[in-house]
Structure 1
Amino acid sequence: MNRLRTLIFQAIFYSGSVGFVLLAPVSACFGEGPLTRVVYGWARFHDWCTRRLLGIGWRLQGEIPSGPVIVAMKHEAMYETIQALLLLDRPGTVFKRELMNIPVWGPALRRFGGIVVDRDAGSTALRAMLAEGKALIEAGRPILIFPEGTRVPPGQRPELKSGLSGLYRMLKLPVVPIACDSGRLLPKKGLKHPGVVTFKVGETIPPGLPREELEARVHAAINALNG
């Protein structure tokens, strides 16, 4: 049954996503409003597919503060990268540079509020990153980052990448850590399993802390479900 569920999900979700991918760059030409509708339409389509086809729901433990904050989320599956759109209010997401360099699609990501964090960036790139972050703050939007940098199998606790501390230092925002356990139901390879993904909101971390303390607190909080 899980094999059949997985095959049906892949067929419907990925084929259905083509329309949204093609619409995003076009809608971006007409402003933020049309692009936002396309992006959230895709997120709701993904939620429907995972619920109805895979039998995977989600629950939120705790409350996510509104307004401009940095949300640091555990990353175990592609699931949370899309589902975060339904948890947060129009988040500006930190992307890998490779995604932002995709022709047509990359500019649409940036238009929606994408930020590239590059630890080896020069002063010009750092100024651009700071300007993008400040624009999101002025719009009252949160900034979403996956501080481990890539998907991590359940139970693993790698060190955090430097992008989080860089944003924290430059933007002087509080950090909201969120743990999730999506990897046990949606492994990177293999069949998907029905169940409920939990998102657990940790204690908000104030701005101005030393890097070591910030990273230690975030690391503990985003791994709270790795029992």
Structure 2
Amino acid sequence: MAHIVAILRSLLFYPVFYGFSALLVVASVLAIPFGRNRLRDVVATWGALHYWCVTNILGIAVVQEGVIPDEPVLILVKHESYFEAIDIPRLFAFPAVFAKKELFAIPGWGFSAKFYGLIPVARDGGAKSLRTMISTARERIEAKRPLVLFPEGTRVAHGASPPLQSGFAGIYKLLKLPVVPVAVNSGPLYNRIIKQPGTITYRVGEMIPAGLKRDEVEARAHAALNALN
């Protein structure tokens, strides 16, 4: 019976969330002439829509253990499913997320993402692309926006703990910011066609100071990101 209920919940979730998401993509493009704050409102609405659908349709509770410091930091987030990627605008006020450059080529969404202020990551772009990325990130820091990075580079299965992408160490060194790692265990419930009810937990790790050697910062961040494995 529980499996049938989960199927019915998922069958309702997909058309409701993605149907309204399509409308919000259009709304995001229409909001651009009215300024970034209007676009910010649309993106916040998208995050709130997703959270409502997750909690009310899928029956998934979301809890957060710990608090993100209210100061300039580089926030690292474990990436097990699309859940945390979509939830970022709800978790943080006007976040500047490091996102794969290829995503900016998506019609409508890519144009809005660029105007919103996401930070393009060109993995094979060389030194010039790195300089551009760091310059953009510093602009977001000056605007007092939280920086969010998925340091594993892609979604990983729950329980897997791959090494962090090499780009994290470069970003950490050049931006000279403390790091706040955030573990999340969304995979077992959300990273599946038939999503399951239960509880998704965010666990905020201890802040890692700026200026550490690469091996130390990577080891501390890796351990904290996998705290819920």
> Under a length normalisation based on structure 2, what TM-score does the superposition of the two structures give?
0.94
Q: Contact (CA 8 Å) 2:25, 2:108: kept in 1 or not?
A: no
Partner of 2:146: 142
Aligned equivalents of 2:199 and 2:24: distance in 1? 26
Matched, 1:214 2:217: yes
Amino acid of the structure 1 residue aligned with 2:226:
N
Aligned residue number for residue 182 of structure 1 = 186
Give the whole-Å Cα distance in 2 for the aligned partners of 1:106 and 1:190: 25
Q: Does 1:165 align with 2:169?
A: yes
1:11 aligns with 15
Residue 96 (structure 1) aligned with residue 95 (structure 2): no
2:201 is aligned with what amino acid?
T
**Cα distance in 1 between the residues matched to 2:124 and 2:15:** 39
The residue identity in structure 1 corresponding to 2:179 is V
Q: Can you list the C-alpha shifts for 1:5-30, whole angstroms capped at 9, x where unaligned?
A: 11110111111111111111221232
* Aligned-partner SS, 1:90: coil
Consecutive unaligned residues in structure 1, runs of 5 or more = none
CA offsets, 1:76-123, max 9 Å, x none? 111111212222121100111110122442131122121122343233
1:155 matched to which residue of 2? Answer: 159
Q: Is the contact made by 2:17 and 2:50 (CA closer than 8 Å) also made in structure 1?
A: yes
Q: How many angstroms apart in 2 are the aligned matches of 1:26 and 1:112? A: 13
User: Matched residues in 2 for 1:30 and 1:128: separation?
Assistant: 27
Q: Which moved more, 1:96-105 or 1:55-64?
A: 96-105
* 1:134 shift after superposition: 0.8
> Kindly, what percent of the aligned residue pairs are identical?
45
Taking the aligned partners of 2:29 and 2:138, their CA distance within structure 1 comes to 23
Please list the CA deviations of residues 49-89 of structure 1 after superposition, one character each: whole Å capped at 9, or x if unmatched: 11111001211101101232110010111111121222212
- Within 5 Å, which residues of 2 pair with 1:198-213? 198-213=201-216
Q: What letter matches 2:6 in structure 1?
A: N
5 Å-filtered alignment, 1:20-169, equals 20-169=24-173
Work out the CA distance in 1 between the residues paired with 2:170 and 2:112: 24
Secondary structure (helix, strand or coil) at the match of 1:185 reads helix
Structure 1: how far apart are the matches of 2:33 and 2:207? Answer: 36
Q: Deviation string for 1:155-203 (max 9, x for gaps)?
A: 111111122212111111111000000111112x331111111000001
Superposition deviation, residue 142 in structure 1:
1.0
- Cα RMSD (Å): 1.3
CA shift digits 1:125-177 (9 cap, x unpaired)? 22221221011110111111111111111111111112221211111111100
Distance 1:211 1:107 in 2: 35
Separation (CA, whole Å) in 2 of partners of 1:211 and 1:113: 28
Q: Could you say what secondary structure the match of 2:221 adopts?
A: helix
- Aligned to 2:174, the other structure's residue is in SS state helix
SS of the aligned residue for 2:153 comes to: coil
d(CA) in 2 for partners of 1:174, 1:114: 20
Aligned partners of 2:169 and 2:122: how far apart in 1? 12
The number of residues matched between the two structures is: 225
